[in-house]
Every structure is written in C-alpha cells, then in structure tokens.
Homo-oligomer: A and B are copies of this chain.
Amino acid sequence: MKVLVLGAGQLARMMALAGAPLNIVISAYDVNTDTIVHPLTLQKLGTGLSNAIADAEVITAEFEHIPLPILEQCQQSGKFLPGSEAIQAGGDRRLEKALLARCGVASASYLVINNEADFKQAVSELGSPLIFKSALAGYDGKGQWRLKAPGQADAVWQQMADFLAADAKQAIVAEQFIGFNRELSLVGVRAGSGEVNVYPLTENHHVNGVLSVSLARPVNIMLQQQAEQMFAAIADNLNYVGVLAIEFFEVDGKLLVNEIAPRVHNSGHWTQQGADVCQFANHLRAVTGMPLGNTELLRPTLMINILGEDHVPAAILSIAGLHLHWYGKQKRPGRKMGHINLSADSLAELKARFARLIDLLPEAAFPELEQMLGRVSD
C-alpha cells in the first residue's frame, strides 16, 4: 500500500517507521522544497507532486500549514484523508473556532479581528485579560499577543496592526484568557466506518509555548468522558478519518477546547511505548482502511521533548523503560530534535526512573522537568 504524506518532518518519519511492518510504503512531500522524498532517508524520489498524487493509494498530512492549492489538488484526487476541510480547520484559527462552536463543545469566547474597530469591540465585549492568536500559521507559541489590562490596548494594537498589514490573508482571533489548572490533550482515531478509539487523556507541560513533557497515566473517568464526547462531536462533524488530537484547558474539573490538530500529535508520542498500538500505526490503519488498533494504556509513560540538542548523555539509555527517538535533523536552537519516552509498570516506579533521568539530563537544555515530577503519583 502506497501512502503519500504532505510534509516530510518527524511525523512523516515516524509514520514510515510504523508503516513499514504493515507493508505501507510512505513517500513524503516536502512543502519547503516542492520535492517528493523518502521520509526516513530524505532522499529525493525523483517524482513531482502530481505524479506522487497519481501514484499514491492514499494521501494524508503530517501538518496543517499547507498551501490551499495543494490541499485542493489532493482533495480532487479523492484519496485525501482526513481531507481538506479538517486540515484547513486545523490551520486557520477562524475556521477552528467556528467548528468548535458548530459542534457545541466548550471553548474560550472569541472574536475575529481584521481591523482596529474589531479590536476595540473585542476588548469591550470579552474584557481582559485577553489572548490574541494569528489566524494562520500559528504554532508552538508563535504569533501570539496578550492584553493583561485595558491600559495596554494601544501598544498591543500597534503590534497587531503591523502584523495584519504585512499579510492580507491574516487575521487575529481574540480569546478570553483562560486561567486553567492543567493542560490536557486527547489523541484518538476515527475509521471510515465511524468507529472511534481514543487513547487516555495526556497531561502536558509547556515551556515558552512549546510542549516539554507529556504524561499518560490511568485517567480520571469524568474528565475522560468529557473529552471523548467532545472528540466524537468534532470528529463526526468533520466525518474525520485518521488520528485527531484535541488540546484542552482543565478549569476546575471542566474541559475547554484550546485547539485541535488534524494529525498525529507531539502529545501522542508516548503511545510508541505506552500503548498497545501507537498513534502512527493507528493513523495509517485508519486512512488505509485497516481495522483500528487497541488504544488502551499499556503502562504509565512520560514523553520528554528534546529541543535544540543533538546529543544526550548515553547513560540515560541504561534506565529501564527508556526509549530515545531521534528525528535525524540538523541542530537548530529550539528545534524539535527528538524525544524520550519513559515507561514503568507503576507510577511509583515511573517517578523513580524520572528522578534518575532528571539527574542525568543537563538542566539548561531540559528546564522545568521537576514541575512534572510532582505529578507522577497516585
């Protein structure tokens, strides 16, 4: 089975590794260089996008910031899953917020800002503090502004005005700032038949807007049920096929959707060791029409991102239950270079292993890990 993935980064790479045992052969479209490459070797495969689309049995995507003409070309092939609408909803915060409203799932109140009048209306209607997010191409904390008090309005608007003036396609979405207790995410998979399997809710810790650590552990059933209902509402509305990730804010036991990602997701990397069938295999199973795989938690697992580093102390590999996942990328400051999965049979054992890992990792490159250490308990 031949699958073309839009995007040639680590998510396509890990799909290739998970797909090979299923006899799924993956090629990847590198949007930056407009070439088709092997997602593992990054060798150019000497074919153009149109030929690759014709040659593939299924087309999918590893990210949502894909030029619209390419999405439309893939959509017209009739092979694109989860399809253009879902990918666009993940890549344009206006569409995303409209989708969430349409599905009736809880989310922060918002207004779309195209000009100063919109901005003033947002400040007046939504109050402060406010958070502003670019409609397009915003991820990992980029393209965000905050208004802590009304007195900052002029200064904040000036930055946003410059941003809007630079790109006619852009807009900004203003949202009420949510004072949340925790950030959680749910990764699940929906088959063409409508069948849905979801992994347990994962608790996430971000540093400077970028995911640092995810923890998958036996879940609070009330929260899991809320999350699953929202997942089903969104996935069914989009007639979604494949893996979908939803990020939530937890506020006093209630979940609000922060954003969705119409793809395999960084907060689901723990499934490679902590679940029976990982998110990459499950995405491929769904889009190629195979039965979905079991998403139960196999053992409590932590995922720690490796950002901007191409080396970690070899000694960490002697910790039982530790698995390194490098992405084979050139080092750049802050770049997602790989991740560590750490598993154990019990939360107590996981905590002990995590403490040992924290001791071995350089703190400058892995800040704030202790904040998650306290969470690893019954």
Contact = CB atoms under 8 A, between A and B. Distances in A.
7 contacts: A17-B17, A21-B338, A22-B326, A23-B338, A290-B314, A291-B314, A291-B317
A334 interface: no
B21 A326 contact: yes
Nearest to A315: B291
A210 B291 CA distance: 30
Contacts of A25: 328
Size class of the contact patch on chain A: 35 or more
Nearest to A24: B326
A338 B43 CA distance: 26
Nearest to A318: B291
A368 interface: no
Contacts of A323: 21, 277
A265 interface: no
A164 interface: no
Interface stretch (A52-60, A178-186, A236-244, A292-300): A292-300
Interface in A269-307: 276-277, 285, 290-294, 296, 298-299
Contacts of A277: 323
Given A22-B324, A326-B22, A328-B20, A317 B290 contact: yes
Interface in A173-227: none
Interface string A99-131: 000000000000000000000000000000000
Contacts of A13: 20
A23 B330 CA distance: 12
Interface in A229-268: none
Contact of A320 (B21, B296, B314): B296
A138 B166 CA distance: 71
A321 interface: yes
Contacts of A294: 320-321
A40 interface: yes
Contacts of A17: 17, 20-21
A152 interface: no
Contact of A23 (B298, B299, B320, B326): B326
